[in-house]
Structure 1
């Protein structure tokens, strides 16, 4: 799920940069790209991969 979020953030950053949309400092393409990198790093680290329940042993 975080991998998809990272891809969306990278795409939004690309659109802001390519269209040269004037945004404030919070939503600049560099900051959105850094959020995408953070989401990608969390995805690679295994955070947000799914819900794993306990395995029952008999």
Structure 2
């Protein structure tokens, strides 16, 4: 799920940069790209991957 969110943020960042849309400093393409990298790092770290069912063997 976090990887999909990251891909969407990267796509929005690309559109802002490619269309040369002027935005305020908060929603610049660099800031959105950094948010995408943060979400991608969380995904790689295993956060947000859901509950894992641990099986115990006797």
TM-score by length of 1: 0.88
Mark the runs of 5 or more structure 1 residues left unpaired by the alignment: none
Deviation sequence 1:4-52 (CA, Å, 0-9, x none): 0000000000000000001000000000000000000000000000123
Instruction: Please tell me whether residue 20 in structure 1 is matched to residue 20 in structure 2.
Output: yes
Question: Does residue 1:43 correspond to 2:46, yes or no?
Answer: no
> What is the TM-score normalised by the length of structure 2?
0.88
CA RMSD of aligned residues (A): 1.4
Q: Which runs of 4+ in 1 moved over 4 A?
A: 53-58
SS in 2 for 1:50: coil
Partner residue in 1 for 2:6:
6
Aligned length: 58
